[in-house]
Structure 1
Amino acid sequence: MQFVTVEGRSLKHALRPLVDVIERRSTIPILGYVRLTLESDGLRLSATDLEVEVETRIDVIDGDRAGGWSLCLPAQALAGIAHVAGVMPVRIVRGSGDEETKTTISLGDDEAVYTLDGLPAADFPSDLIARGALLETFSNGQLATQLDKVRAFISTEETRYYLNGVCWHRGPLGSRFVATDGHRLACCRVSADPVDEVARIIPRKAIMLISKHMAGLDVRVHEREGGAALSGLAFEADGLSIRTKLIDGTYPDFDRIVAPCVEKAGAFAIALKRPDVSAALARLGVFGRDIGRAIKLDAQDGRLVLVRSGGDGGARAKTASTWPAGLTAFGLNAAYFGDMVSGCMGDITLGLSAPGDPLLIKDSDPEMTRILMPMRV
């Protein structure tokens, strides 16, 4: 009899990233299933959407390890069973003979017994992205933290599909994570050490999985084995592996925007206190958060004021920031500006060379550069 017994709490934790990678509306039935493989070092669980693969490993309490075996079970049902199991042991018994895909799962001392219809393990798409050479190591959750700083800037536009992810750019200026939607841009410097130039575009879904499930973990990044150099990446941590295909395309030359913006941003500088400007934005927000609505940054008695006008009314909110002499009023997207301010750390400096030029936003994080394009008001 082929069986395995694991702790319910461990199974629940291991299934979380697997459930997140599965597309519930997929027309391919096997993609809604988790493959369980009993091996000498524990139980391996896998799920995929054919673009991203996730694999987890947990220790077993007991099991029939003879020869190694696999089975595929519906992900949502298995996750539900693990959720109600709590700390009770979960015993999974594979069917035999004509009912090989019939699996019985019991909790504790048969406090609950479930029967699930599985699918043959041979139907499961596996090893789409095999792990290759080591590229870089991130310790203490550094990878998830740095990706969190830029992932809000990923585009959702389908036309420019190459913006639907984070560009991991390595070159003479070091290693950086960059995301942009054409209206705003965020760049997080990973390392200043020069390396051979290469750009890899990591898709949004993989970024979400890394951010959510690899927070606080040491992560090793490997290139794809046996494929093109830019075709895939494997993110490996203890007990968790996220392997993803990359977006095929050429990422924009963001340094053409960043470099001159940083160089000329000293012409006019506005020092902001984050709580102060956040409160001013909230006062303007009584009219709603229209993603396309502009606000005007203007001067009143030498101070910065935020102005909003439109068919549903207008508002003016004062701040304590000093307005630079010689600078004329300019407009920004209200929602984008609010998102950038809320994501900053400590005091904020707005820098620009002229009212119609891109706005450089710097905070107390020396590794971060944020740029916001102006709007007409």
Structure 2
Amino acid sequence: MKFSMERAALLEALGHVQNVVERRNTIPILSNVLMSADNGVINFVATDLDIEISESTSADIAVSGDVTAPAHTLYDIARKLPDGSEVSLSVGSDGRLEVDAGRSHFVLPLLPAGDFPKMTADDFTHDFVLGAAELSRLIDKTKFAISTEETRYYLNGIYFHAIDGKLRCVATDGHRLALCEMKVPDGADGLPGVIIPRKTIAEVRRLIDGLSETIEISVSEAKIRFKVGSAVLTSKLIDGTFPDYDRVIPKGGDKKLVVDNGVFASAVDRVSTISAEKSRSIKLTLEGDNLTLAVNNPEHGNAREDLMVDYGAENLEIGFNAKYLLDVTTQIEARDIHFALSDPASPALVKDPEDDGALFVLMPLRV
């Protein structure tokens, strides 16, 4: 195999696929990227056996063929080469990959292309299209609440489903919940609930970052596929049952709190400076239109700050994890953040007045 291409095109293609490759692999071939050159097109493929990403780009191909080379090493070489340089890749007489650009020369080991695992294509039952901005919003408003607890594997992703004419994404770790929805696109009606893994979400978000084009999505019972320009990401889904999240969304919440989001976030950040690392608990005391944020840490002292708010209901004391509060404030686009509260033991419902399609639930802490 022998081909040459511009450094920027090589870097972009490798950048799209190499992130899926784990830094440490017990199976050597999984550390490599498969490069297939034919008919003026080179196709790059990388996989971790759960996710497969491929990217096609044009190249000047002298000799067709397939090889696999170390993904991260090849990416680092491309990244460090000068802008505008022409990169030539070829298999040498010793069976190793030779990479040449200007006066730079690299030789890399290869593994047989025939050993590279291919992800089987499923019979996808639903095909639909989303704008990159729409998909970014669905991901960004929910991904922060994905659980990292491996024992509850069914919470290690975003629950993606169609319900009541809406395409909805939900994530929860048992302490907080994030929900974001939009009008269901053509082809997604009746989409069964699927759980998209955390790593897949991160890779898709990286692929669509800054794009304005549309994304083609295909879903089956076991896999999901995203087509982003010339890149295709196929991923296994989490085989589990997502909990009945609707039960934990508060329906009462008669105590309404409205506070300037930026002022509130800054105050929470300041006061939580001395909170215990493990619980990060902060107490909110509401009396009339005054909100007191307080932290009492036996080891590091205490802190408090008063804020003017729009409240007016009966007095209330309730505790939350400060980090979780701050995570929610970053998702609010309006000037104000709206809380619906019931009592110290009930979850709080948080909404963005400028985004009816998103809501957040925070479980209280005992303080």
Pairwise same-fold verdict (TM > 0.5): yes
5+ long unaligned stretches in structure 1: 224-228
- By how many angstroms is 1:327 displaced? 3.6
User: Secondary structure in 2 aligned to 1:329?
Assistant: strand
Equivalent pairs, count: 359
1:94-130 CA-partner distances (Å, limit 9, x unpaired): 235xx3x31211113xx11111111110010013345
Of all paired residues, the percent bearing the same amino acid is 31
Q: 1:63 aligned to 61, 64, 70, which one?
A: 61
* 1:297 is aligned to 2:293: no
- By how many angstroms is 1:145 displaced? 2.9
- By how many angstroms is 1:310 displaced? 1.9
- By how many angstroms is 1:45 displaced? 0.2
CA contact (8 A) 1:4 1:64 kept: yes
CA contact (8 A) 2:296 2:303 kept: yes
1:337 corresponds to: 325
5+ long unaligned stretches in structure 2: none
- By how many angstroms is 1:141 displaced? 3.3
CA contact (8 A) 1:295 1:308 kept: yes
- Name the aligned partner's letter for residue 106 of structure 2: Y
1:22 corresponds to: 21
CA RMSD of aligned residues (A): 1.9
- By how many angstroms is 1:309 displaced? 0.9
- By how many angstroms is 1:134 displaced? 4.8
Cα pair distance change 1:40/1:179, threshold 3 Å: same
CA contact (8 A) 1:92 1:106 kept: yes
CA contact (8 A) 2:269 2:322 kept: no
1:245 corresponds to: 236
C-alpha distance in structure 1 between counterparts of 2:143 and 2:287, whole Å: 35
CA contact (8 A) 1:145 1:211 kept: no
2:256 corresponds to: 269
1:284-318 CA-partner distances (Å, limit 9, x unpaired): 03315725122111135641111111212111111
Cα pair distance change 1:301/1:371, threshold 3 Å: closer
Cα pair distance change 1:130/1:299, threshold 3 Å: closer
Matches within 5 A, 1:8-87: 8-40=7-39, 42-60=41-59, 62-64=60-62, 68-85=64-81, 86-87=83-84
Q: 1:95 aligned to 82, 86, 92, which one?
A: 92
CA contact (8 A) 2:158 2:196 kept: yes
- By how many angstroms is 1:192 displaced? 5.3
1:228-267 CA-partner distances (Å, limit 9, x unpaired): x420011011111111000000001111222xx1x313x1
1:128-150 CA-partner distances (Å, limit 9, x unpaired): 34574552211143212321111
Cα pair distance change 1:197/1:19, threshold 3 Å: closer
2:310 corresponds to: 322
- By how many angstroms is 1:279 displaced? 2.1
1:359 corresponds to: 348
CA contact (8 A) 1:53 1:244 kept: yes
Cα pair distance change 1:192/1:81, threshold 3 Å: closer
Q: 1:157 aligned to 140, 149, 154, which one?
A: 149
- Name the aligned partner's letter for residue 155 of structure 2: L
